[in-house]
Protein backbone atom coordinates (compact mmCIF):
# COMPACT_ATOMS: atom_id res chain seq x y z
CA UNK A 1 0.00 0.00 0.00
CA UNK A 2 1.30 3.39 -1.04
CA UNK A 3 1.93 5.59 2.00
CA UNK A 4 -0.17 8.69 2.21
CA UNK A 5 -3.03 7.34 0.13
CA UNK A 6 -6.25 9.33 0.62
CA UNK A 7 -9.70 8.34 -0.62
CA UNK A 8 -11.97 11.42 -0.60
CA UNK A 9 -15.73 10.92 -0.83
CA UNK A 10 -17.97 13.96 -1.17
CA UNK A 11 -21.66 14.32 -1.88
CA UNK A 12 -25.01 15.58 -0.61
CA UNK A 13 -26.86 14.50 2.54
CA UNK A 14 -28.12 10.94 2.57
CA UNK A 15 -26.14 9.71 -0.45
CA UNK A 16 -24.78 6.84 1.66
CA UNK A 17 -21.30 8.30 2.01
CA UNK A 18 -20.68 7.17 5.57
CA UNK A 19 -21.99 3.62 5.05
CA UNK A 20 -19.88 3.20 1.93
CA UNK A 21 -16.81 4.98 3.31
CA UNK A 22 -16.84 2.79 6.44
CA UNK A 23 -17.13 -0.41 4.39
CA UNK A 24 -14.44 0.64 1.92
CA UNK A 25 -12.10 1.66 4.75
CA UNK A 26 -12.59 -1.75 6.41
CA UNK A 27 -11.77 -3.60 3.19
CA UNK A 28 -8.71 -1.46 2.50
CA UNK A 29 -7.46 -1.58 6.10
CA UNK A 30 -7.71 2.23 6.18
CA UNK A 31 -8.97 4.52 8.93
CA UNK A 32 -12.33 6.22 8.36
CA UNK A 33 -12.84 9.92 9.08
CA UNK A 34 -16.46 11.14 9.15
CA UNK A 35 -16.19 14.93 8.82
CA UNK A 36 -19.97 15.41 8.97
CA UNK A 37 -19.81 13.92 12.48
CA UNK A 38 -17.31 16.65 13.40
CA UNK A 39 -19.66 19.48 12.36
CA UNK A 40 -22.43 17.62 14.17
CA UNK A 41 -20.26 17.40 17.30
CA UNK A 42 -19.74 21.18 17.33
CA UNK A 43 -23.51 21.65 16.86
CA UNK A 44 -24.27 19.20 19.68
CA UNK A 45 -21.94 21.05 22.03
CA UNK A 46 -23.52 24.37 21.11
CA UNK A 47 -27.01 23.01 21.90
CA UNK A 48 -25.74 21.51 25.17
CA UNK A 49 -24.32 24.87 26.21
CA UNK A 50 -27.80 26.40 26.09
CA UNK A 51 -26.43 29.38 24.12
CA UNK A 52 -28.32 30.73 21.13
CA UNK A 53 -26.55 30.05 17.84
CA UNK A 54 -24.26 32.81 16.60
CA UNK A 55 -21.17 32.58 14.38
CA UNK A 56 -19.03 33.80 17.31
CA UNK A 57 -20.23 31.12 19.76
CA UNK A 58 -19.97 28.39 17.14
CA UNK A 59 -16.41 29.43 16.27
CA UNK A 60 -15.33 29.49 19.91
CA UNK A 61 -16.71 25.98 20.45
CA UNK A 62 -15.06 24.71 17.24
CA UNK A 63 -11.67 26.03 18.36
CA UNK A 64 -11.91 24.43 21.81
CA UNK A 65 -13.71 21.15 21.16
CA UNK A 66 -11.87 17.84 21.40
CA UNK A 67 -13.34 15.27 19.00
CA UNK A 68 -12.15 11.67 19.04
CA UNK A 69 -13.24 8.75 16.83
CA UNK A 70 -13.01 5.24 18.28
CA UNK A 71 -14.00 2.59 15.75
CA UNK A 72 -15.49 -0.48 17.39
CA UNK A 73 -16.72 -3.36 15.23
CA UNK A 74 -19.06 -1.76 12.68
CA UNK A 75 -19.65 1.38 14.76
CA UNK A 76 -17.56 4.51 14.50
CA UNK A 77 -17.93 5.80 18.06
CA UNK A 78 -17.62 9.56 18.52
CA UNK A 79 -16.49 11.33 21.71
CA UNK A 80 -16.59 15.03 22.57
CA UNK A 81 -14.38 16.07 25.47
CA UNK A 82 -14.52 12.42 26.68
CA UNK A 83 -18.34 12.13 26.51
CA UNK A 84 -19.75 9.66 24.00
CA UNK A 85 -22.00 11.41 21.47
CA UNK A 86 -22.32 8.71 18.79
CA UNK A 87 -26.16 8.78 18.89
CA UNK A 88 -26.62 12.28 20.31
CA UNK A 89 -25.14 13.92 17.20
CA UNK A 90 -27.78 12.26 14.98
CA UNK A 91 -30.86 13.79 16.63
CA UNK A 92 -33.30 15.97 14.66
CA UNK A 93 -32.28 19.04 16.68
CA UNK A 94 -28.63 18.66 15.66
CA UNK A 95 -29.56 17.87 12.04
CA UNK A 96 -31.69 21.02 11.80
CA UNK A 97 -28.89 23.33 12.95
CA UNK A 98 -25.75 21.69 11.58
CA UNK A 99 -25.78 23.32 8.12
CA UNK A 100 -25.82 26.78 9.71
CA UNK A 101 -22.92 25.87 12.00
CA UNK A 102 -20.97 24.37 9.09
CA UNK A 103 -21.40 27.58 7.08
CA UNK A 104 -19.40 29.64 9.61
CA UNK A 105 -15.92 30.30 8.12
CA UNK A 106 -14.01 30.05 11.44
CA UNK A 107 -15.77 26.78 12.29
CA UNK A 108 -14.60 25.37 8.96
CA UNK A 109 -11.03 26.59 9.49
CA UNK A 110 -10.87 24.82 12.87
CA UNK A 111 -12.40 21.58 11.54
CA UNK A 112 -10.28 21.46 8.38
CA UNK A 113 -7.14 21.87 10.50
CA UNK A 114 -8.18 18.88 12.66
CA UNK A 115 -9.11 16.81 9.60
CA UNK A 116 -5.72 17.40 7.98
CA UNK A 117 -3.97 16.50 11.21
CA UNK A 118 -6.00 13.28 11.58
CA UNK A 119 -5.28 12.31 7.98
CA UNK A 120 -1.71 13.45 7.62
CA UNK A 121 -0.30 9.92 7.51
CA UNK A 122 -2.72 8.90 4.75
CA UNK A 123 -4.24 5.42 4.66
CA UNK A 124 -7.67 7.02 5.14
CA UNK A 125 -11.12 7.13 3.65
CA UNK A 126 -12.62 10.50 4.50
CA UNK A 127 -16.09 11.75 3.62
CA UNK A 128 -17.82 15.13 3.63
CA UNK A 129 -18.68 18.01 1.31
CA UNK A 130 -15.33 19.72 0.67
CA UNK A 131 -12.77 16.94 1.01
CA UNK A 132 -11.69 16.69 -2.63
CA UNK A 133 -11.89 20.44 -3.17
CA UNK A 134 -10.46 21.91 0.05
CA UNK A 135 -9.33 19.49 2.77
CA UNK A 136 -7.31 17.04 0.66
CA UNK A 137 -7.19 18.45 -2.89
CA UNK A 138 -4.18 16.19 -3.51
CA UNK A 139 -6.17 13.01 -2.66
CA UNK A 140 -5.25 10.20 -5.06
CA UNK A 141 -8.83 8.96 -5.36
CA UNK A 142 -11.84 11.29 -5.33
CA UNK A 143 -15.45 10.23 -5.62
CA UNK A 144 -18.58 12.36 -5.81
CA UNK A 145 -21.37 10.18 -4.49
CA UNK A 146 -24.96 11.15 -5.09
CA UNK A 147 -28.51 9.87 -5.64
CA UNK A 148 -31.88 11.46 -6.36
CA UNK A 149 -33.54 13.33 -3.48
CA UNK A 150 -36.37 10.77 -3.50
CA UNK A 151 -33.96 7.85 -3.16
CA UNK A 152 -31.93 9.59 -0.46
CA UNK A 153 -35.11 10.31 1.53
CA UNK A 154 -36.20 6.68 1.09
CA UNK A 155 -32.87 5.40 2.46
CA UNK A 156 -32.82 7.83 5.39
CA UNK A 157 -36.47 7.00 6.13
CA UNK A 158 -35.74 3.28 6.23
CA UNK A 159 -32.91 3.89 8.71
CA UNK A 160 -35.20 5.94 10.95
CA UNK A 161 -37.99 3.33 10.73
CA UNK A 162 -35.50 0.64 11.71
CA UNK A 163 -34.92 2.67 14.89
CA UNK A 164 -38.67 2.66 15.53
CA UNK A 165 -39.33 6.23 14.40
CA UNK A 166 -42.40 7.27 12.43
CA UNK A 167 -41.41 8.81 9.10
CA UNK A 168 -43.07 11.51 6.99
CA UNK A 169 -41.35 10.96 3.64
CA UNK A 170 -42.43 14.23 2.05
CA UNK A 171 -41.10 16.19 5.04
CA UNK A 172 -37.88 14.18 4.92
CA UNK A 173 -37.42 15.01 1.22
CA UNK A 174 -37.99 18.69 1.93
CA UNK A 175 -35.45 18.64 4.77
CA UNK A 176 -32.84 16.93 2.60
CA UNK A 177 -33.46 19.36 -0.27
CA UNK A 178 -33.16 22.29 2.15
CA UNK A 179 -29.85 20.99 3.51
CA UNK A 180 -28.54 20.41 -0.06
CA UNK A 181 -29.39 24.01 -0.88
CA UNK A 182 -27.72 25.40 2.25
CA UNK A 183 -24.61 23.25 1.78
CA UNK A 184 -24.30 24.06 -1.94
CA UNK A 185 -24.97 27.78 -1.75
CA UNK A 186 -22.86 28.79 1.23
CA UNK A 187 -19.93 31.09 0.52
CA UNK A 188 -17.14 29.09 2.11
CA UNK A 189 -16.32 25.64 0.71
CA UNK A 190 -19.74 24.86 -0.77
CA UNK A 191 -20.64 21.31 -1.70
CA UNK A 192 -19.14 20.93 -5.16
CA UNK A 193 -17.70 18.11 -7.23
CA UNK A 194 -13.91 18.37 -7.63
CA UNK A 195 -12.89 18.47 -11.29
CA UNK A 196 -10.92 15.25 -10.94
CA UNK A 197 -13.58 13.38 -8.93
CA UNK A 198 -15.44 10.39 -10.33
CA UNK A 199 -19.21 11.05 -10.36
CA UNK A 200 -21.23 8.14 -9.05
CA UNK A 201 -25.04 8.21 -9.05
CA UNK A 202 -26.01 5.40 -6.69
CA UNK A 203 -29.81 5.68 -7.09
CA UNK A 204 -29.98 2.24 -8.73
CA UNK A 205 -26.97 0.63 -7.06
CA UNK A 206 -26.73 -1.59 -3.99
CA UNK A 207 -24.33 -0.86 -1.13
CA UNK A 208 -22.14 -3.77 -2.30
CA UNK A 209 -22.05 -2.49 -5.89
CA UNK A 210 -21.02 0.99 -4.79
CA UNK A 211 -18.35 -0.34 -2.43
CA UNK A 212 -16.93 -2.62 -5.13
CA UNK A 213 -16.87 0.24 -7.61
CA UNK A 214 -14.91 2.38 -5.14
CA UNK A 215 -12.45 -0.42 -4.41
CA UNK A 216 -11.93 -0.81 -8.20
CA UNK A 217 -11.24 2.92 -8.50
CA UNK A 218 -8.74 2.80 -5.63
CA UNK A 219 -6.93 -0.16 -7.23
CA UNK A 220 -6.75 1.71 -10.54
CA UNK A 221 -5.09 4.66 -8.81
CA UNK A 222 -2.60 2.67 -6.80
98 lies in the site for ligand DC, by CB under 6 A: yes
Strand intervals (E) in the chain: 6-10, 31-34, 67-72, 75-80, 83-84, 124-128, 141-146, 198-201
DSSP code per residue over 173-216: HHHHHHHHHHHHH-SSS-S---TTPEEEE-TT--HHHHHHHHHH
Q: In the set 22, 40, 152, 156, which binds ligand DC (CB under 6 A)?
A: 40
119 lies in the site for ligand DC, by CB under 6 A: no
Stretch that binds ligand DC, among 44-52, 116-124, 128-136, 207-215 (CB under 6 A): 128-136
76 lies in the site for ligand DC, by CB under 6 A: no
Q: Residue 81 Cβ, how far from ligand DC at the closest point, in Å?
A: 19
Q: Contact, 24 vs 211, CB < 8 A?
A: yes
Q: In the set 99, 133, 173, 211, which binds ligand DC (CB under 6 A)?
A: 99
Q: In the set 130, 143, 149, 152, which binds ligand DC (CB under 6 A)?
A: 130
In the complex with ligand DC, the residue whose CB is nearer, 2 or 151, is 151
Q: Contact, 11 vs 145, CB < 8 A?
A: yes
Q: How many residues bind ligand DC (CB under 6 A)?
A: 13
Q: Contact, 183 vs 190, CB < 8 A?
A: yes
Instruction: Check residue 121 and report its DSSP letter.
Output: T
**β-bridge pairing 141-146 and 6-10:** parallel
Residue 180: CA atoms inside 13 Å, Cβ hemisphere, count? 18
13 lies in the site for ligand DC, by CB under 6 A: yes
Q: In the set 36, 55, 122, 137, which binds ligand DC (CB under 6 A)?
A: 36
Q: In the set 58, 183, 200, 217, which binds ligand DC (CB under 6 A)?
A: 183
Q: Interface residues with ligand DC (CB under 6 A)?
A: 13, 35-36, 39-40, 98-99, 102, 128-130, 179, 183
Amino acid sequence: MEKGFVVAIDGPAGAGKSTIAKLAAGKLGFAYIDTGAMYRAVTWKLLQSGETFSPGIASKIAREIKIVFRPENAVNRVFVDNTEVTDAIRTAAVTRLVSSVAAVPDVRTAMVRQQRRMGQEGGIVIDGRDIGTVVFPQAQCKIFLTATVEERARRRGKELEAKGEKVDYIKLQDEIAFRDKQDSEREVSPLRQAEDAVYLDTSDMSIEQVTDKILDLVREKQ
